[in-house]
Amino acid sequence: MNMEEDEGISEVVASVLLIALTVVGVAIVATLLFSAPSSVEVPAVSLTAGTTADGTFVLIHEGGDPMGAGTYRVYVDAGDGLIDRTDRFLLDGDGAWSPGEALMYTRGDPGGRIVVTALVGGSETMIAEPWAMGTIATVVDEGGNTPGTGPGPGPGPEPEETSIEITMPSDGGQMIFSEHPKYSSTVWARTTGETVKSVKFILKATEGTLTIEGTYAANRGMDGEYYADITSNYGQLKKMTGRDVIIRAVGYDSVGTAVASDTVTAQILLRT
């Protein structure tokens, strides 16, 4: 083997070593990058519970990070374990649950322990337990504010009862679409008291999506009940029939504040 052959072999060996070192370096960098801890932080919040003047149970965001829709869950333990009841809490506002805003419970008294969790980075973390069974909730006003303890003018008149109830379809019943060729189904709700001045119906699928999902402004009938006509076409209804839809009725006062709500789940049915 002459000198030229030795130099050729050395160059080949050097090239192989350089490639190997490059591969190892890339692997190390990739490992460091992809194994770095997530920068997403669990929100820090201060939550308390209370009741409004009309007896509605509320969760009040007193300070900390705002939490967007779908980034938190509210669980209730009424003696049968923690159950996700997020859909029964109505945000008194739009968008994120921010300091000063309240979640209103739409089913009276939760009757048990409340746990709030945050959904961050693919995991679920408990961030607050604002009310435990046996404790006394603070009385708050309609806006979620705790009244002061100073002297007042004395007891005022009894608060007016305000409520809303979906009368059609019933919970667990059927949402029937008929009247070819423009298929429609009417949802109805009645209110109690004079506080509610307008109503909106909100439709959402229990799983996946539905073409009838959305918010529908209600009309007021001659009998005082509120209603909205939900329309669709034959092709869409053929795909949706047999599926469940969540229907929520929200009552608003004269300034647009949500003051009452009710929720039912019904099965979509196409009647030809």
User: Is residue 215 included in any domain, yes or no?
Assistant: yes
User: Is residue 260 included in any domain, yes or no?
Assistant: yes
Judge contact between 201 and 248, C-beta under 8 A: yes
CATH of the domain at 235: 2.60.40.10
pLDDT digits (tens, 9 = 90+) for 171-226: 999 999 987 667 899 999 999 988 899 999 989 888 888 889 888 999 999 888 99
Whether residue 183 sits in one domain with residue 252: yes
Instruction: Look at residue 42 and tell me whether its pLDDT is greater than 90.
Output: no
Judge contact between 73 and 36, C-beta under 8 A: no
Instruction: Look at residue 95 and tell me whether its pLDDT is greater than 90.
Output: no
User: Is residue 258 included in any domain, yes or no?
Assistant: yes
Percent of the chain with pLDDT over 70: 71
* Domain range enclosing 67: 45-139
Instruction: Say what the pLDDT of residue 24 is.
Output: 61
CATH of the domain at 80: 2.60.40
User: Is residue 110 included in any domain, yes or no?
Assistant: yes
Q: Nearest CA to 252 among 177, 205, 189?
A: 189
CA angle (153, 154, 157) in 5-degree steps: 110
This prediction's pTM: 0.48
Whether residue 177 sits in one domain with residue 238: yes
User: Is residue 152 included in any domain, yes or no?
Assistant: no
Most confident of 68-77, 144-153, 224-233: 224-233
pLDDT bin (cut points 50, 70, 90) of residue 263 is confident
User: Is residue 187 included in any domain, yes or no?
Assistant: yes
Whether residue 182 sits in one domain with residue 129: no
Instruction: Say what the pLDDT of residue 153 is.
Output: 40
Whether residue 132 sits in one domain with residue 198: no
Whether residue 258 sits in one domain with residue 176: yes
CA distances from 197 to 56, 90, 256 (A): 18, 18, 9
Look at the chain and report how many structural domains it folds into.
2
User: Is residue 157 included in any domain, yes or no?
Assistant: no
Whether residue 265 sits in one domain with residue 174: yes
Instruction: Look at residue 90 and tell me whether its pLDDT is greater than 90.
Output: no
Instruction: Say what the pLDDT of residue 148 is.
Output: 42
Task: Name every residue whose Cβ is closer than 8 Å to that of residue 58 and which is 6 or more positions away in sequence.
Answer: 49, 50, 51, 52, 92, 102, 103, 104, 105, 140, 144
Whether residue 252 sits in one domain with residue 200: yes
Q: Nearest CA to 247 among 162, 169, 163?
A: 169
User: Is residue 133 included in any domain, yes or no?
Assistant: yes
